[in-house]
């Protein structure tokens, strides 16, 4: 009898366990499948990716605000203090972006010293024709800084690919492009001084009877020429840098989007990063907002916001010491790593640049990315592309869309998972394109542009030679 009861209960227990497994396991598998799907795809409201006429600040930005931060805004968006009567078209934006990329590639492959000598010879004359070059006028972001005593506020483009900070100054000897802020007048600042020809800061520069000269020329022919000077730089009320060396431009040409000049955040000795090293230890960070209608930040020095940052080595090359190099080693789409030989990335090298709009990849890497993205987007209607962006979609009639994740993998086991706003470039609801492009030469360096950097807290630590990423910065 006991044996029969034992057998009965054993069978009953077995059936009970099988029933539990039949209920629980499919549920767990479904949850696992759902989590895998959510981690490999973005489902977003189409309207959230379209431009807006209203300026907004994200919750993350408001919660993380402090006195160290400068507001960072798209210079043509509703948050910008610059008010253009007419913004450039997307065709112009992308064309100008290519001009900047060509300039960056040129800086690596050749010297620009002869062009700069010609520019320096032009100061005090009108020998340089006014040009409509505008490689810095679009796709870039601006901050407000103070120059002089008493300080005057100026909206300037922030640029990790340039070193010399400069603003337009009175008197404009032969030409100044239109800007919104009044020109800086050195005579109105009690702390302004031209740097003398005998100064060690002028050892690599040209001189005139009035002092040290500087010149910068960009890839499309736009330029700035003037006196190398020093004055008080005010970033925030609690962040003031005396004797900051900058270019006081008296001969300038280019459509710089009504900005007064440029804030150079490169690695050379003339950059703000180097000049403020004693104050901030070579550390700065920024967050590029998800759209032109929202705000990000630029911050100097270490902060509590850097606790969750994952770092990859910051590299350098002797012939281009200004640029921030890093090792891109792989790309994933929809959670699947693409079959791209590591040599594809190592041959070209990679820099991160705040002024480039669209990320450029080696031809083979871009081809693999495009193929995988198209496969994942097969359910959407395709749209015509352009000269730069060739993988586009028509989302007319879609309230929400589901797009595959794109992840960039860097040396040091660092993965940067793009925000949805960093994957597609919206020209219109009927033409949204994959925001990547391929270089036309396998030897040309890859460039991580500002679209793919959106919403990341991007940290540069020059002293430790590291570049870091953490999501949800703004």
Question: d(Cα 21, Cα 246) in Å, to the nearest integer?
Answer: 71
pLDDT of residue 52: 81
pTM metric for this prediction: 0.86
Q: Is residue 440 assigned to a domain? A: yes
Task: Enumerate residues 6+ apart whose C-beta is below 8 A from 423.
Answer: 42, 403, 405, 406, 434, 435
Is the pLDDT confidence value at 245 over 70?
Answer: yes
Give the highest mean pLDDT range of 12-16, 175-179, 393-397. Answer: 393-397
Is the pLDDT confidence value at 377 over 50?
Answer: yes
| Ramachandran bin of 164, using left for φ above 0, alpha for ψ from -120 to 50, beta for the remaining angles | beta
pLDDT of residue 98: 87
Residue 226 · residue 216 · CB < 8 Å = no
For residue 173, give its domain range: 75-275
Length of the chain (residues) = 474
Q: Same domain, yes or no, for 459 and 320?
A: yes
pLDDT band at 255; cut points 50, 70, 90:
low
pLDDT of residue 85: 62
Q: Same domain, yes or no, for 322 and 364?
A: yes
Is the pLDDT confidence value at 318 over 90?
Answer: no
pLDDT of residue 86: 66
Please name every residue paired with 12 in a beta bridge, in sequence order, or none if there are none. none
Q: Same domain, yes or no, for 441 and 337?
A: yes
Q: Same domain, yes or no, for 206 and 267?
A: yes
Q: Is residue 215 assigned to a domain? A: yes
Residue 457 · residue 303 · CB < 8 Å = no
Question: d(Cα 208, Cα 426) in Å, to the nearest integer?
Answer: 49
Q: Is residue 281 assigned to a domain? A: no
- Among 275, 294, 323, residue at a domain's last position: 275
Q: Phi first, then psi: give them for residue 419, nearest 5 degrees.
A: -65, 155
Residue of 97, 220, 353, 461 marked active site: 353
Residue of 159, 163, 231, 461 marked active site: 159
Q: Looking at residue 167, which CATH number applies to its domain?
A: 2.40.70.10
pLDDT of residue 33: 56
Compute and round to an integer the Cα radius of gyration of the chain: 26
Question: Tokens in use for 239?
Answer: 């962040």
Number of domains in the chain: 2
Q: Same domain, yes or no, for 313 and 270?
A: no
Q: Same domain, yes or no, for 189 and 134?
A: yes
Calculate mean pLDDT across residues 386-395.
92
Q: Same domain, yes or no, for 406 and 446?
A: yes
Q: Is residue 139 assigned to a domain? A: yes
Active site residue 353: yes
Question: d(Cα 354, Cα 97) in Å, to the nearest integer?
Answer: 12
Question: d(Cα 128, Cα 19) in Å, to the nearest integer?
Answer: 85
**Least confident residue range of 204-208, 288-292, 375-379, 443-447:** 204-208
């Amino acid at each position: 009898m006991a044996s029969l009861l034992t057998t009965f209960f054993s069978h009953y227990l077995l059936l009970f366990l099988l029933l539990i497994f039949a209920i629980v396991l499919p549920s767990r598998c479904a949850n696992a499948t759902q989590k895998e799907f959510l981690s490999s795809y973005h489902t977003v409201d189409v309207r959230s990716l379209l431009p807006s006429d209203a300026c907004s600040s994200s919750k993350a930005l408001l919660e993380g605000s402090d006195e160290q931060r400068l507001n960072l805004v798209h210079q043509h968006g509703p948050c910008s203090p610059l008010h253009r009567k007419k913004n450039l078209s997307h065709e112009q934006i992308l064309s100008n972006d290519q001009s900047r990329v060509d300039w960056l590639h040129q800086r690596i492959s050749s010297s620009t010293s002869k062009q700069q000598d010609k520019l320096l010879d032009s100061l005090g004359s009108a020998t340089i024709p006014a040009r409509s070059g505008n490689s810095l006028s679009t796709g870039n972001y601006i901050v407000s800084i103070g120059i002089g005593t008493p300080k005057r506020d100026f909206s300037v483009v922030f640029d990790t690919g340039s070193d010399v900070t400069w603003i337009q100054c009175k008197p404009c000897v032969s030409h100044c492009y239109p800007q919104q802020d009044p020109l800086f007048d050195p005579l109105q600042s009690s702390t302004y001084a031209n740097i003398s020809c005998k100064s060690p800061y002028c050892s690599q520069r040209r001189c005139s009877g009035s002092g040290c000269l500087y010149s910068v020329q960009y890839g499309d022919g736009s330029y700035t020429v003037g006196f190398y000077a020093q004055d008080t730089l005010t970033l925030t009320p609690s962040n003031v840098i005396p004797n900051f060396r900058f270019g006081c431009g008296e001969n300038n040409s280019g459509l710089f989007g009504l900005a007064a000049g440029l804030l150079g955040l490169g690695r050379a000795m003339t950059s703000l990063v180097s000049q403020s090293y004693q104050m901030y230890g070579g550390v700065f960070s920024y967050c590029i907002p998800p759209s032109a209608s929202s705000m990000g930040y630029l911050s100097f020095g270490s902060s509590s916001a850097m606790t969750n940052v994952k770092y990859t080595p910051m590299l350098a090359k002797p012939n281009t010491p200004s640029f921030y190099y890093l090792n891109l080693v792989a790309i994933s789409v929809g959670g699947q790593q693409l079959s791209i030989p590591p040599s594809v990335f190592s041959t070209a090298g990679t820099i991160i640049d705040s002024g480039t709009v669209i990320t450029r990849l080696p031809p083979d890497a871009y081809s693999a990315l495009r193929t995988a993205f198209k496969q994942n987007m097969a359910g959407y209607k395709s749209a015509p592309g352009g000269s730069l962006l060739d993988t586009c979609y028509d989302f007319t009639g879609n309230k929400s869309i589901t797009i595959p994740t794109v992840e960039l993998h860097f040396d040091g086991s660092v993965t940067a998972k793009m925000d949805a706003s960093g994957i597609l470039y919206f020209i219109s609801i009927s033409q949204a394109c994959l925001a990547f492009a391929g270089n036309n030469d396998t030897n040309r360096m890859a460039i991580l542009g500002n679209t793919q950097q959106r919403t990341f807290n991007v940290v540069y630590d020059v002293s430790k030679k590291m570049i870091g990423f953490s999501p949800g910065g703004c």
